[in-house]
Structure 1
Amino acid sequence: MLLIAGFAAWHFGKPLVPLLRAQQSVASLEAADILIGELAPSLEFGERLASAGLQRTKMPSAYDADYYAISYPGGDLPLTPEGKWRGKAEDLIIRSYRNLGIDLQELVHEDMAKNFSVYPQLWKRREPDRNIDHRMVQNLQRYFKHQGAELKVTRETGDYKPGDVVVWMLASGDLHCGLVVPGPGERRGEAWVVHDLGSGPKWENVLTDYQIYGHYRFTGAKHDAVESAEN
Structure 2
Amino acid sequence: MPGFFAVLPARAAPAADVAAAAREQIGVTVLYDPSYRQLAYPGGDVPIERGVCTDVVVRAFRRIGIDLQALVHRDMRAAWKTYPHPAGWGSTRPDPNIDHRRVPNLATFFARHGQSLPPSRTPADYAPGDIVTWTVPPGLPHIGLVADLRSPAGVPLVIHNIGAGTRMENRLFAWPLTGHYRYPAPASRITGGSR
TM interval, shorter chain, is: 0.7 to 0.9
Range with greater deviation from structure 2 (213-222 or 129-138): 213-222
Describe the SS at the equivalent of 2:43: coil
Q: TM-score by structure 2 length? A: 0.84
Q: Which protein has the bigger strand share?
A: 2
Pairing 1:201-216 to 2, within 5 Å after superposition: 201-216=166-181
Q: TM-score by structure 1 length? A: 0.71
Do the aligned partners of residues 111 and 43 (structure 1) sit closer, same or farther apart at CA in structure 2, a change above 3 Å counting?
Answer: closer
Pairing 1:38-57 to 2, within 5 Å after superposition: 44-57=13-26
The answer to whether the 8 A contact 2:20-2:148 is kept is: no
Percent sequence identity over aligned pairs: 37
What residue ranges of structure 2 are gaps of 5+ in the alignment?
Answer: 1-10
What residue ranges of structure 1 are gaps of 5+ in the alignment?
Answer: 1-41, 226-231
Describe the SS at the equivalent of 1:182: strand
Instruction: Give distance in 2, aligned partners of 1:60 and 1:119.
Output: 28
Describe the SS at the equivalent of 1:142: helix
Do the aligned partners of residues 134 and 220 (structure 1) sit closer, same or farther apart at CA in structure 2, a change above 3 Å counting?
Answer: farther
Q: Give 2:20's aligned amino acid.
A: S
Q: Give 1:59's aligned amino acid.
A: V
Do the aligned partners of residues 182 and 155 (structure 1) sit closer, same or farther apart at CA in structure 2, a change above 3 Å counting?
Answer: same
The answer to whether the 8 A contact 2:114-2:185 is kept is: no
The answer to whether the 8 A contact 1:102-1:220 is kept is: no
Pairing 1:43-192 to 2, within 5 Å after superposition: 44-77=13-46, 79=47, 85-122=49-86, 123-183=89-149, 187=152, 190-192=155-157
Equivalences, count: 178
Q: Which protein has the bigger helix share?
A: 1
Over the aligned positions, Cα root-mean-square deviation in angstroms equals 2.3
* Structure possessing the higher radius of gyration over alpha carbons: 1
